[in-house]
Structure 1
């Protein structure tokens, strides 16, 4: 097999998401739970305006989902605990040697390192469940990994973080060589760019320990969007300076030095839990559009939308308030997962086939 993960902006067949359910992540008060439901629904309804969307729904939440979601969204019932589809769901890949083949990488999901608070055993089955639902070939992996912990350019480059794939709570016996071999086998990437760490908030109890999709993204081969924190009062000011220095010395799989474009953070620095990790890098690219994170900061939100419009020409940028999602440990990219479209097979040459 020659599996390859396409760049996110390649044509999609559909998007997959998971609808929230009652639990630690959703919130403890009525206001918190309603805020979570509304945020997930807002993203889903925005996505559904541009491409088909399938939503995994716990049977206990089906009625609520139907009341909040666009009627065009396909609801697929299955047991749910965590509802971050990027992480618990499959990573879709294509086979370069078989244009009609769709694969689904089923990473081991253990709730970002099996913290005591996480409920993940049901959603750990979502990779295989979704693969079966779409008729994809299951690409089983023994690596504990999440979709938010990788980002590819579709040409052999993958971004990842030392504190995620090499996290002893995830992969206690892994080293770079083993991870690199698994990335090649499952994603077709042969050039790995390792970041030393992620953003500060991501190392809290409810964090992922450094997911790359809140730090950096590749909008097109050779170009890199990097989170920027211009305020020296925020601890990420130094973090992203260090990350920029690391990335400035890196190349992609084709040997090109990255052209780095900064996405400055909004003005808000803290919430009741400490420094925020609000990041416009955590956007989602889909057919004809970009769903961008909004943070109630008109100046910063508009600036980010303008940068994203330049990086993804020909796509409409739709900003959705992501503060309720970030309050739960992630962003818009974290709750979505693209299923790439299969390449169109060439038309049969005239004069061939039965009856010719």
Structure 2
């Protein structure tokens, strides 16, 4: 049946009803118990920080609720929906708003980043949330992740081809076909593509760890001060920057930290991986006093009137993600 309404995913800075998050538990993903507990504590810290500003729904199997409840504030409600991992931006519900103001969910099917990780529970989360909320689940005809596309909420998308035009997600679909389906799914008019980077990380280089919309045609991006020409991520990031600039977007650059607490080539130290909630921006800091301050000031300029709350989320960086990857907003209806 053809959907008679246009559905739009509002900008992240639009008012929220709540934030959704997921509890990480899968033993094949978290083989080390101590590290798993560190990651769970980080999810607890993020949930509590957001709950100071809006309700948080943390999804977890009922058998995990007693363990998960420890340390959570009263503003965090546990829902009995089984999970494998924490990446709610990718596996969780994607909320869109109809032209009549009502909410629905858009189904972009999660498949474990191209079947790279166990995802039996995570693949079912969106449908289970839609059933619990009694919301329609609108098909998109796409396999992928919410973190693989960034939306302005004002008709514009940006994405890395590597996360979508990939046989491990959408075999047989061209870039133009995928772009058209993404625009329909999220209520946008056009998409800016950049090549990205295939196979260097589990996500095939999600755009939300590099660049974020902070207005209709305004972007905040994290780049190295001294790019290494041998680093494929540096080369891909600079290419994305140049493509966005050529498209006429207003861009502000935040430098990556040069003296982070964790120095490892696989550690993701992205200031762009923040989350905007009601009245606040929840953002990472990495222990480099200079770049941490630059990031805080930039976020304050781009989101005036919001409190800037910066957290140590290093365990997520060790996993290749950040705060934005761990959260998903439910717009105000």
Name which of 23, 26, 39 aligns with 2:42: 39
Q: In the alignment, what sits opposite 1:105?
A: 106
The number of aligned residues is 327
The whole-number CA distance in structure 1 between the counterparts of 2:81 and 2:241 is: 41
Q: Is the 8 A contact 1:22 1:33 kept in 2?
A: no
1:225-263 Cα shifts (integer Å, max 9, x gaps): 11111123472443332222111111xxxxxx2110002
Q: In the alignment, what sits opposite 1:346?
A: none
Is 1:146 aligned to 2:145, yes or no? Answer: yes
Q: Is the 8 A contact 2:23 2:85 kept in 1?
A: no
Residue pairs, 1:152-301, within 5 angstroms: 152-198=151-197, 203-204=199-200, 207-233=202-228, 235=231, 236-250=233-247, 257-268=248-259, 274-301=265-292
Q: Is the 8 A contact 1:89 1:106 kept in 2?
A: no
Name which of 24, 27, 38 aligns with 1:20: 24
Q: Is the 8 A contact 1:105 1:141 kept in 2?
A: yes
TM-score, normalized by length of structure 1? Answer: 0.87
Deviation at 1:269, TM superposition (A): 7.5
Residue pairs, 1:28-67, within 5 angstroms: 28-67=31-70
Where 1:185 maps in the other structure, the secondary structure is: helix
Is 1:323 aligned to 2:314, yes or no? Answer: yes
The whole-number CA distance in structure 2 between the counterparts of 1:172 and 1:224 is: 30
Q: Is the 8 A contact 1:160 1:212 kept in 2?
A: yes
Unaligned runs of 5+ in 1: 251-256, 343-356
Name whichever of 286-295 and 54-63 sits farther off. 54-63
Name which of 75, 91, 94 aligns with 2:94: 91
Where 2:290 maps in the other structure, the secondary structure is: helix
1:269-296 Cα shifts (integer Å, max 9, x gaps): 8967634331100100010000001212
Q: In the alignment, what sits opposite 1:11?
A: 15
Question: Is the alpha carbon distance of 1:28 and 1:310 closer, same or farther for their aligned partners in structure 2, counting shifts above 3 Å?
Answer: same
1:149-192 Cα shifts (integer Å, max 9, x gaps): 11111111011110011111111111122212212321111210
Q: Is the 8 A contact 1:159 1:212 kept in 2?
A: yes
The whole-number CA distance in structure 1 between the counterparts of 2:249 and 2:332 is: 27
Unaligned runs of 5+ in 2: none
Q: Is the 8 A contact 1:291 1:317 kept in 2?
A: yes
Deviation at 1:78, TM superposition (A): 1.8
Question: Is the alpha carbon distance of 1:155 and 1:45 closer, same or farther for their aligned partners in structure 2, counting shifts above 3 Å?
Answer: same
Q: In the alignment, what sits opposite 1:122?
A: 121
Deviation at 1:4, TM superposition (A): 0.7
Deviation at 1:22, TM superposition (A): 4.0
Structure number, greater radius of gyration: 1
What root-mean-square deviation, in Å, do the aligned CA atoms of Structure 1 and Structure 2 show? Answer: 1.8
The whole-number CA distance in structure 1 between the counterparts of 2:223 and 2:138 is: 35
The whole-number CA distance in structure 1 between the counterparts of 2:25 and 2:297 is: 34
The whole-number CA distance in structure 2 between the counterparts of 1:60 and 1:290 is: 32
The whole-number CA distance in structure 2 between the counterparts of 1:105 and 1:194 is: 21
The whole-number CA distance in structure 1 between the counterparts of 2:235 and 2:205 is: 15
Deviation at 1:135, TM superposition (A): 2.5
Q: Is the 8 A contact 2:23 2:84 kept in 1?
A: no
Where 1:42 maps in the other structure, the secondary structure is: helix
Q: Is the 8 A contact 1:21 1:58 kept in 2?
A: no
